[in-house]
Structure 1
Amino acid sequence: MVRLKTINEFCRENHYKFLFELLVHPPSDARIMQASIKELQDNGIEPDIWKLEGLEVFDEMRQVVEQARSGGRREVGVVVLGRGESEAKVRAWLTVAAKIPGVVGFAVGRTVFKQVLLNYQQGIIKRGEAAQAIAKNYKSFVDLFENAQK
């Protein structure tokens, strides 16, 4: 906690935004996520953006986001990470999360590019095709997230 607090204070004093990625075990356990966020907050760790695993149950995700934004932290945002999960699971998470105030985006790298890069590495597709496929995959997640927000 001491190191985290030092980083947190450095960011505040120097006007840097602080993004904190919380990974819990077992993955996607809302109770552990919520308790972990509260413990960090109680110890003075105040990220501007929490990078959290998605959850498939709306009320569980809402409660986790509400903890991140509790106690006057209305400017705090949440970004949903993919954690290398399947495309179907990440799409379900984003569909749920996009509807929750405070969820400001997502970070789903491997879900977007892993298989495409493997195909490129194996010579199945060319570099330009890989770039187009990655762009198309990412755009599909953007469209999903934006449409789910409506």
Structure 2
Amino acid sequence: MSTLQPAPVPHLYLLAFDERHSFENALLGLSGPPTPDEAEAIRHMKTLIYTGFRLALRRGVKHDGTGILVDGQYGNNVARQALEEGILLAMAAEKNGQEELDLGEGACVGPHIETFDPAFTQARVRYNPEDEQEINARRTERLALLTEWLQAHGRRFLLELRVPATQAQLEALGGDEDRYDHELRPSLVVRAMSELQAGGVEPDIWMLESLDRTEDCLRVALQAREGGREHVSCIILDHHADWEGLERCLRVAAPIPGFIGFALGRTLWWEPLQALHQRQLTAAEAAQRICDNYQRALLLWNEALLRSDCQRSAMQQEVAPS
């Protein structure tokens, strides 16, 4: 671990649309590489998401910690506009959206990172401690190299950690993915973080699939800052694209020291874009819904923080000497 630690990030509320396969396969239904017209349609959808984000800013959302996460394939135009407008920008390091981290030949990040100089460089990894050790070792090695490159260039590292169930784990739980999320995944997340840290992977921010129990969030936050990593923090991802689950996880994570915000994607923009693609919404209506969803997530987070502060203040008054 580097002894030169950057200052902690106090808040981070990202509208994330760095995905590529969701746009290519799920939204457009493509089975192969997009045509130029299809690629342009994806760029247009990402611009529309950014329009929704800017609407939220114009409606009074504070700029402190608010920003966007985009890719370097379809998000270049959005990234350029965000920089011109002074918006906090995070960009994916990978040259494409492959299953494993692929940073290209002879480079640790795609050229777009040097070009746009984002506030955060993001990478995504699937890592289950009980998966094949050869795969985990390869992923760890690549991320350790990325860590070294980013630290050498004074860049903040945003690591998205996904811990999908192995087939054996699912079978042991009768194929119940909800049981996996509740019973197994939280402890596996802590193990994965520990193993990655031991392998030289040192993100400034851990992007983690949402957790719905206070004790799990506490364990994760402690692991993130284990061994003198006081500058490291966590933000949550929308693991399941439904508001009921997301609201619960936002309320649980917000009061936990070490959790500083979120990076939310499909929950905020999937339904509006799908309705737009099916001609059920206009572009302006879709952008407005994305704006409303982003504001809703911020409100939930801030309400949870305020409720926690009020409870803490009440407890302090109860124990204060008369």
The alignment's TM-score, normalised by the length of structure 2, stands at 0.45
Residues 1:13 and 2:152 are matched in the alignment: yes
- CA-based RMSD of the aligned residues comes to 1.2
Separation (CA, whole Å) in 1 of partners of 2:235 and 2:212? 15
Separation (CA, whole Å) in 1 of partners of 2:240 and 2:259? 19
- Residue of structure 2 equivalent to 1:33: 189
Residues 1:43 and 2:212 are matched in the alignment: no
2:186, 2:211 within 8 Å by CA — same for their partners in 1? Answer: yes
- Per-residue deviation at 1:114? 0.5
**Percent of pairs identical after alignment?**
35
Separation (CA, whole Å) in 1 of partners of 2:164 and 2:270? 23
- Per-residue deviation at 1:85? 2.6
Name the aligned partner's letter for residue 4 of structure 1. Answer: L
- Residue of structure 2 equivalent to 1:98: 254
Deviations 1:30-58 (A, max 9, x none): 11000000011111111000000111111
Separation (CA, whole Å) in 2 of partners of 1:23 and 1:7? 18
2:218, 2:256 within 8 Å by CA — same for their partners in 1? Answer: yes
- Residue of structure 1 equivalent to 2:291: 135
Separation (CA, whole Å) in 1 of partners of 2:225 and 2:146? 20
- Residue of structure 1 equivalent to 2:163: 24
Aligned residue for 2:287, secondary structure, equals: helix
2:276, 2:283 within 8 Å by CA — same for their partners in 1? Answer: yes
Aligned residue for 1:51, secondary structure, equals: strand
Name the aligned partner's letter for residue 130 of structure 1. Answer: A
Aligned residue for 2:200, secondary structure, equals: coil
- Per-residue deviation at 1:3? 1.4
Separation (CA, whole Å) in 1 of partners of 2:141 and 2:282? 48
1:21, 1:50 within 8 Å by CA — same for their partners in 2? Answer: yes
- Per-residue deviation at 1:102? 1.1
- Per-residue deviation at 1:144? 0.5
- Per-residue deviation at 1:84? 4.4
Q: Name structure 1 gaps, 5 residues minimum.
A: none
- Per-residue deviation at 1:147? 1.3
Residues 1:117 and 2:273 are matched in the alignment: yes
Aligned residue for 2:223, secondary structure, equals: helix
Separation (CA, whole Å) in 2 of partners of 1:147 and 1:75? 25
1:83, 1:108 within 8 Å by CA — same for their partners in 2? Answer: no
What is the aligned length? 150
Aligned residue for 2:164, secondary structure, equals: coil
Separation (CA, whole Å) in 2 of partners of 1:23 and 1:122? 31
- Residue of structure 1 equivalent to 2:37: none
1:49, 1:79 within 8 Å by CA — same for their partners in 2? Answer: yes
